[in-house]
Structure 1
Amino acid sequence: MGGESKWRKLMLALGLNTCLYHPKTSDDDDSTRSPSSHAPPRSSDVRHRMPTTPTPSSSGLHMSKYGIKSSSKQMCAICLTSMKATDGHAIFTAECSHSFHFHCITSNVKHGNRVCPVCRAKWKEIPLERSGSSRVKSSTNSGSWMALQGMAHQQLYSGRSAPLLFQAPEPPVFNDDELVNHKVEEMPSGDFDSCGGVEMKTYPEISALAKSTCFDNFGILINLKAPITKGNLNSRAPIDLVTVLDISGSMTGTKIALLKQAMGFVVQNLGPLDRLSVIAFSSSARRLFPLRRMTETGKQESLQMINSLVANGGTNIAEALKKGTKVMTERKFKNPVSSMILLSDGQDTYTSISPRKTGSKTDYQTLLPSSMQCKKDETCIPIHTFGFGMDHDASAMHSISEHSGGMFSFIEAENVMQDAFAQCIGGLLSVVVQELRVEVECVHPVLRLGSIKAGSYKVGMNENGRSGFIEVGDLYAEEERDFLVAMDVPVGESDDKMSLVKFKVIHKDPIKKTTVTVGGNEDVIISRPESIMGEPIVSVEVDRQRNRLRAASAIAEAQVAAERGNLAAATSVLEDCRKKLSESVSARRGDRLCIGLVAELREMKERMATRRVYESSGRAYVLSGLSSHSWQRATARGDSTGMTSQIQSYQTQSMVDMVNLSQTMCFSRSPSTSMVNNSPKNKKSLRSIYSFPLPQPR
């Protein structure tokens, strides 16, 4: 030990910043095992239960030996896998007596941590990566990061040399993203195609109006439905996805384990043409790796990096968003679809958030970089935010998603994090329509548009009110949108029919890169007879959308009242709306959307019963509902029951399929090995780098 201590001091004095290890020799193996064999442990060797605190050991940094009996029963608190005496990995034991895989703890240290992830004790000696290699110093081009990581992984899993992890410094410009590849011959099997274009339907509020009658605020509904896709989930537009993950101290234990598991599911569902980059943040933010294609190699290396994350520090959401934005704005290449995912369980403790004016709402929008906020005539990259647990800042997360065109989801229960991610990527991996724009024009010369009800979507009308538009953006496969146009219909003239408006839909096909136009030639017409017997028949479709808009308005009003501390007024608004919906035409006809809205309003009322309930879960549940209704897109809300009982009209089949896939997978101790394809080939490829069992269908 004396010689080893002198050698360590000598290496540190030389500035090599390395950790000693005991190389594995043939003396360490029994007679029945080859010195070069490093087979992963059998699945029966790893116990399937939640992680526990490792048992302290008296050993130093070493390649595991049979003589260290306790190490076979330990598990690494970082990657949550067993530290067995025969697995061929170096083990580092700190001054506080807690032990870790060497490659795991060096990954922790490289992010600036200088305390034990288990007991939080401060260390005097820490394991550092070796930085003296000329190969490392000379790697400065755009491919250096990939080269360094390849070197690290080769050494890490070879079992024949010291396990070293290299972390190249972040470049000043994030233009080191991996080349996109859209060659036809490399497209996945099942060539992408869609069954026709966007389907458009229109519904006037009533089909016949007497000539002598005028009708104020007459509603005309346009329903759009995106086409279904042929082929499998990989036969669609490739995506650039940046995930921004909270690894602050509050994410320790089960939370970060579930986060790794959920990210493992995301990685394994991305295709070889998709690109992923991960930003991890706590007190500061760091890009784990640039946008890289999710080939088998890309997946394996990404999973290893994700699996090395350690929870520690504060919560700097603003810095994390800046870093994620930097990846998106400075990338050299682009896939057809781009999106960001942000998950956090806390409030930003580093950014000052204050009202813009005295008495105004808190300006949470300042957390979002200006380059990511939707502006006029610019394509927006949506940020889908996930508020995790009871302590996250729901108002900030909702504001970030709202101003970027994304969705805000509330993950109330820890065990539905993966399902929430699954629903989100189920949509992102099925984009069939982009840059969709709806144009409406009055046909009859006396008509003028009164309003265009489109939630959070950008709308506009010309000065004379004769025409208008709605900027919709992307649609997932089979996704629907309903927009309500209102106008005042005057007394009729001599004609028996009256042409009201005409709609035209323009969008881009993300695969064929062509512009598609639907409609524009057919007028929405109503009859104008001399008289009508009895009450006019109201369109159920129009009444249904009026109910949805009425509910969304009531939820927004109740949320404002609740934020002002007036929960009695908030619950009264929700109850009044619930009663009106129950008496509507669509409710009397058993409309499923109306029934779902009534149930949702009742749930929100219960979550506003007391200030404590509203602060802990009501605010997040309400804001997630507002996000869902304003964009007409599914969000995760509440616990596991809420995931399945929320209004299903916004869910697409691809979302449902992905959630079902998530729920039919079971996972072992490690959270980063979720597999969609459980083929022997894929199992073998991952077993070659992970020493824990792969998930099996349950």
Structure 2
Amino acid sequence: MGSRWRKAKLALSCLHVPRTDDDAPPSAASVGRLSDVALLSPAGTGSDFSMPTTPVPSSSGLRLPKHGSKSSKWTCAICLNNMKPGQGHAIFTAECSHSFHFHCITSNVKHGNQICPICRAKWKEIPFQSPSDLSHGRARMSNVDWPRNDNRSTMLRRLPPHADANRHISSLFHSPEPSVFDDDERVNHQPGNTENGSFNKDVAAQTIGAIEVKTYPEVSAVSGSTSHDNFAILIHVKALTSRKHSCGVNEANMSPISQFSRAPVDLVTVLDVSGSMAGTKLALLKRAMGFVIHHLGPSDRLSVIAFSSSARRLFPLRRMTDAGRQEALQAVNALTSNGGTNIAEGLKKGAKVMTDRKWKNPVASIILLSDGQDTYAVSSSPGGGHPQIDYQALLPLSIQSNEGTGLRIPVHAFGFGADHDAASMHSISETSGGTFSFIEAESVIQDAFAQCIGGLLSVVVQELQVVVDCVHPWLKLGSVKSGSYKTRLPPDSRQCFIDAGDLYAEEGRDFLVTVDIPVDGSSNEMQLLKVRCTYKDPITKESVTLEEVDVLKIQRPEITRESVISVEVDRQRNRLRAAEAMAEARAAAERGDLAGAVSVLARCTEVLSETLSAQAGDQLCNDLAAELREMQERMANRQVYESSGRAYVLSGLSSHSWQRATARGYSTDSSSLLQVYQTPSMVDMVTRSQTMVFGSSSPQPSSDRPARSFRTQRQTSR
């Protein structure tokens, strides 16, 4: 026994293994933290994943604790739940020494997996269930020479030579599917819900999504004897949450997501499992999906679409109860990589799940991840030039945000690595109303997913519409700067409508409008605008109208002193300037004029430095300048731009146009600018991703070591 165990340890020297009486005490180096990513990586690559003994926030993944295997020894790597003996669950110990719940690993084997989910060792014998034996309470063991624990009931079947471990997965992509995806699990919004699926009003009343509206004039006074063209007014809208205090509960110790009753989510993840995702990428994707599954609640529903050369729905929309989580984890763990990249087919399948569903949760979204070019939607350009992709065709019409469709499903796209088609992914997200994130480093894929679901799990306002009315009879609206949000301005220009979409808890929107102030000496005060908001409460599904908003006024004295420009207005002007410069630079870069693109960004940086808010030390202005300089570096030459510059710029444009946080570069915190758009729920979820210990449902104290930005990592590698 001792000899066999020592041989196994030698073969798996890159992994931490349990001690036996024959083992020497572990060295100091062996008790360091091992990333669970290393455990999921193919054998033979362990040396590439040696992790520091202190946690680095920018490296994502569920991590093993410092003290070795004690806390993870009794944790099932498939369902992540406890598996101590005596809790009514049979436990299977494989020949590679790793243990799992018997029902978890038999389901894995049934789905075609015949290798260890932890160390990837090929098993000669696998567990199987015999109905006759189970009915008599018996367990069978094959005649092998490894220890038997009386507390562990195991049944094994010897594999035939050269068994095809991927046979089931291969057939999964080619077996018939239902013509209509109406087999989703019925929603369960709240305990005590009625037959028609409406929410329990007593529960919903515990939290009310409220809208806060503030207006800021460019200056507080304009002389009544003079006019002022293009007078800027900032409209700030923010979603607040009022919470009903629970007796004996300290809200300060609760996570932002748990502090209010939230709307359940229907989430469809469309995952690239093409051949280029083999190895570490797929392992990290599985780990990230495990994190998502772990943080969805029993009222949330999940469906997973896997695509390569074709696309396949792995399972219908299922509520993430204990049983639902186990099914989802097993399906994700069974994924293998092969074939080409058919993004369009994956999106069509994801859209079909959403459109065909019989039951609906209030919040719905699609997450799309791909690391490569779409190899099935390429058409030759006129004249035989470089092949062009019809980006619009990649998005099914059923989920485009077209008026009158009655369905708006945002696609949050994640471009993974240096070879993905950033322009296509950005186009897909922009058309659907979602965001585009650039995952440059493999280690932050989980953090990027965490930030996204941190927002989706905190929606408190839906279908927000901001209505701006001119109050003074001579006043008319000029421009309305609303980014990617749709704006309607009637011919008389006395009113405008801004469709601001959904808001996460504590999330804000800033809109800059201009008016022409006429000469008017009839009064010492002029009323300019009033703002109204209408939205839908996602929990009660009721429409809410907010009209109790003060009218914005300015002073109109005969003579005014030197006007002081509002810092709030100036900083939003800077944000819009920077976003416009990014779009102009990107257009120049796509034409091949990288020098012109860098010049545009440099000029904008110089203009920002001369503004009032910059001279006052405004943090947003400083962050914008830093972001523009980063983009200049990523446009240094064609190779750098193709590998990372384009994706970095497009992710920045997506973030600014929707005023929503996106992952960029090597980290979800690669620029403090992203913190402007991050909500408390996003921050909390990313912290959980960066500090969660493998097998624990509660986050551990984070390291004092800050996450390194792209710039710091690049300088370190030189």
Structure 2 partner of 1:690: none
- The 5 Å alignment of 1:508-657 reads 508-519=536-547, 522-534=550-562, 536-640=563-667, 642-643=669-670, 645-657=672-684
* Structure 2 residue corresponding to 1:252, chosen from 251, 260, 278: 278
CA distance in 2, matches of 1:603, 1:404: 28
**Which one-letter code corresponds to 1:172 in the other structure?**
S
* Structure 2 residue corresponding to 1:214, chosen from 227, 234, 237: 227
CA distance in 1, matches of 2:443, 2:543: 42
* Structure 2 residue corresponding to 1:280, chosen from 281, 306, 313: 306
Q: Offset of 1:184 from its aligned partner? A: 3.5
- The 5 Å alignment of 1:356-371 reads 363-371=390-398
Structure 1 partner of 2:458: 430
1:290-327 C-alpha deviation (Å, 9 max, x unpaired): 00000011101110110110111110000000000000
1:173-213 C-alpha deviation (Å, 9 max, x unpaired): 00000000124348999877436611110011111000122
CA distance in 2, matches of 1:324, 1:297: 23
* Structure 2 residue corresponding to 1:411, chosen from 421, 435, 439: 439
Structure 1 partner of 2:134: none
Structure 2 partner of 1:170: 177
Structure 2 partner of 1:98: none
1:456 alignment partner, SS class = coil
CA distance in 2, matches of 1:356, 1:334: 44
1:106-147 C-alpha deviation (Å, 9 max, x unpaired): 64699xxxxxxx9xxxxxxxx9x99xxxxxxxxxxxxxxxxx
User: Percent of counterpart pairs with the same letter?
Assistant: 58
CA distance in 2, matches of 1:533, 1:456: 38
Contact 2:378 2:390 in 1 (8 A): no
Q: Offset of 1:215 from its aligned partner? A: 1.1
With over 3 angstroms needed to count, the CA separation of the structure-2 counterparts of 1:657 and 1:641, relative to structure 1, is closer
With over 3 angstroms needed to count, the CA separation of the structure-2 counterparts of 1:356 and 1:441, relative to structure 1, is farther
Structure 1 partner of 2:346: 320
Structure 1 partner of 2:688: 661
Q: TM-score w.r.t. structure 2 length?
A: 0.72
Contact 2:447 2:668 in 1 (8 A): no
Contact 2:475 2:515 in 1 (8 A): yes
2:18 alignment partner, SS class = helix
Q: Offset of 1:363 from its aligned partner? A: 3.3
* Structure 2 residue corresponding to 1:347, chosen from 340, 354, 373: 373
1:590 alignment partner, SS class = coil
Contact 2:448 2:668 in 1 (8 A): no
Contact 1:268 1:675 in 2 (8 A): no
With over 3 angstroms needed to count, the CA separation of the structure-2 counterparts of 1:494 and 1:237, relative to structure 1, is same
Q: Offset of 1:160 from its aligned partner? A: 4.3
CA distance in 1, matches of 2:465, 2:380: 36
CA distance in 1, matches of 2:205, 2:597: 48
**Which one-letter code corresponds to 1:513 in the other structure?**
K
Structure 2 partner of 1:335: 361
With over 3 angstroms needed to count, the CA separation of the structure-2 counterparts of 1:327 and 1:660, relative to structure 1, is same
- The 5 Å alignment of 1:456-467 reads 456-467=484-495
Q: Check if 1:676 corresponds to 2:697.
A: yes
2:551 alignment partner, SS class = strand
In structure 2, the gaps of 5 or more residues are 1-14, 21-29, 45-77, 80-91, 115-119, 121-125, 130-151, 160-166, 194-198, 244-253, 701-718
* Structure 1 residue corresponding to 2:18, chosen from 25, 40, 44: 44
With over 3 angstroms needed to count, the CA separation of the structure-2 counterparts of 1:52 and 1:339, relative to structure 1, is closer
Q: Check if 1:261 corresponds to 2:268.
A: no
Structure 2 partner of 1:398: 426
CA distance in 1, matches of 2:389, 2:557: 54
Q: Check if 1:449 corresponds to 2:477.
A: yes
CA distance in 2, matches of 1:52, 1:546: 47
Q: Offset of 1:83 from its aligned partner? A: 4.9
CA distance in 1, matches of 2:182, 2:534: 33
Structure 2 partner of 1:374: 401
With over 3 angstroms needed to count, the CA separation of the structure-2 counterparts of 1:454 and 1:53, relative to structure 1, is closer
Q: Offset of 1:345 from its aligned partner? A: 0.3
Contact 1:344 1:388 in 2 (8 A): yes
Q: Offset of 1:356 from its aligned partner? A: 10
With over 3 angstroms needed to count, the CA separation of the structure-2 counterparts of 1:221 and 1:635, relative to structure 1, is same
Q: TM-score w.r.t. structure 1 length?
A: 0.74
With over 3 angstroms needed to count, the CA separation of the structure-2 counterparts of 1:385 and 1:108, relative to structure 1, is farther
Residue correspondences, number: 561
1:537 alignment partner, SS class = coil
Contact 1:593 1:647 in 2 (8 A): no
Structure 1, 300-309 or 519-528: larger mean CA deviation:
519-528
CA distance in 2, matches of 1:563, 1:582: 27
1:245-298 C-alpha deviation (Å, 9 max, x unpaired): 011111111110000000000000000000000001111110000000000111
Q: Offset of 1:376 from its aligned partner? A: 1.6
1:400 alignment partner, SS class = helix
Structure 1 partner of 2:320: 294
Structure 2 partner of 1:202: 215
1:385-425 C-alpha deviation (Å, 9 max, x unpaired): 00000000000000000000000000000100000000000
Q: Offset of 1:355 from its aligned partner? A: 6.9
Contact 1:355 1:361 in 2 (8 A): yes
Q: Offset of 1:647 from its aligned partner? A: 3.0
With over 3 angstroms needed to count, the CA separation of the structure-2 counterparts of 1:286 and 1:532, relative to structure 1, is same
CA distance in 1, matches of 2:190, 2:667: 41
**Which one-letter code corresponds to 2:449 in the other structure?**
F
1:640 alignment partner, SS class = coil
**Which one-letter code corresponds to 2:654 in the other structure?**
S
CA distance in 1, matches of 2:263, 2:606: 44
1:569 alignment partner, SS class = helix
1:184 alignment partner, SS class = coil
Q: Check if 1:226 corresponds to 2:226.
A: no
1:205-247 C-alpha deviation (Å, 9 max, x unpaired): 1110001221111111110111136375253100000000011
CA distance in 1, matches of 2:205, 2:548: 27
1:18-59 C-alpha deviation (Å, 9 max, x unpaired): xxxxxxxxxxxxxxxxxxxxxxx997389954456569xxxx
CA distance in 2, matches of 1:590, 1:300: 51
Q: Offset of 1:87 from its aligned partner? A: 7.1
CA distance in 2, matches of 1:362, 1:287: 25
Structure 1, 648-657 or 358-367: larger mean CA deviation:
358-367
With over 3 angstroms needed to count, the CA separation of the structure-2 counterparts of 1:515 and 1:88, relative to structure 1, is closer
Contact 1:582 1:588 in 2 (8 A): yes
Q: Offset of 1:513 from its aligned partner? A: 2.1
Q: Offset of 1:426 from its aligned partner? A: 0.4
**Which one-letter code corresponds to 2:539 in the other structure?**
I
Contact 2:399 2:407 in 1 (8 A): no
Q: Offset of 1:552 from its aligned partner? A: 0.4
CA distance in 2, matches of 1:354, 1:203: 51
With over 3 angstroms needed to count, the CA separation of the structure-2 counterparts of 1:566 and 1:350, relative to structure 1, is same
1:332-362 C-alpha deviation (Å, 9 max, x unpaired): 0000100010000001001135679999985
CA distance in 2, matches of 1:393, 1:45: 47
**Which one-letter code corresponds to 2:697 in the other structure?**
V
1:529-572 C-alpha deviation (Å, 9 max, x unpaired): 101123x1111111111111110000000000000000011000
With over 3 angstroms needed to count, the CA separation of the structure-2 counterparts of 1:605 and 1:105, relative to structure 1, is farther
Contact 1:597 1:647 in 2 (8 A): no
**Which one-letter code corresponds to 2:683 in the other structure?**
V
